[in-house]
Amino acid sequence: VFRHVSLTLPQRQTTAIVGESGCGKTTLLQLINGVVSVDEGVLSVLNAPIPETGLPAFRRKIGYAVQGAGLFPHMTVQQNVDLMARLEGWPESKIRNRVRRLFELMGLDSALGTRYPYQLSGGQQQRVGLCRAMMLEPPLLLLDEPFSAIDPITREEIYGHFEVLQQQESVSALLVTHDLREAVRLAQFLVFMGSGQILQHGETATVIESPASESIRRLIETQL
């Protein structure tokens, strides 16, 4: 249950939502993606209210990356990444160019395209998942703790690739995480959530320097 949530997120930047399990972070992503509907109030995404009809077309404007990548095991890497573009009827040349660009941005060798997910490392799978999420050039990318199951060394490498991807594609990214270090590392805008409420939000540096409550201050001191 959300209580009097009012929040405007910046465009073409990364916003991180930080909070304990059950605070409403993932539900907020589901609201934005149209999976869950609001009971009261207005939720605008991409400068317009979420449509009551035509949700599949609306969702194609939103990339979604999750923990574990969620790749189809019976498809090759190439097939996983370009699936939605083929369903949309993109020409072969556009598909090839888009996949090539995404592989380059995420530091993936083109030879991986013929492999299957089980033949990849966890870090490679997650990068492929990000490529798939960005295939249709969405203006908005939702990230539901996609890096949490990756070892620290690999995670730092993926952070670098993600930052390049976000900047080069000028995508607005919304990252849900319980890891404050990750949030500070990747996000320009930071939101603290608790029990369905927005506890504090603002530019990352400002929030970290001036916590709005004792609980946020303790969390910052504990994790940073």
DSSP one-letter string for the chain: ---S----PPTTSEEEEE--TTSSHHHHHHHHTTSS--SSS--EETTEEPPSS-HHHHHTTEEEEETTTT--TTS-HHHHHHHHHHHTT--HHHHHHHHHHHHHHTT--GGGGGS-GGGS-HHHHHHHHHHHHHTT--SEEEEESTTTTS-HHHHHHHHHHHHHHHHHHT-EEEEEES-HHHHHHH-SEEEEEETTEEEEEEEHHHHHHS-SSHHHHHHHHHH-
pLDDT tens digits along 199-219: 999 999 999 999 999 999 999
Task: Look up the pTM and report it.
Answer: 0.91
> Which residue, among 182, 144, 146, has the nearest Cα to 32 in the 3D structure?
144
Spell out the domains of the chain, with CATH numbers in brackets: 14-223 (3.40.50.300)
pLDDT tens digits along 50-84: 888 888 888 999 999 987 778 999 999 999 999 99
Q: Give the pLDDT band (50/70/90) at residue 1.
A: low
* Residue 86 in this model has a pLDDT that exceeds 70: yes
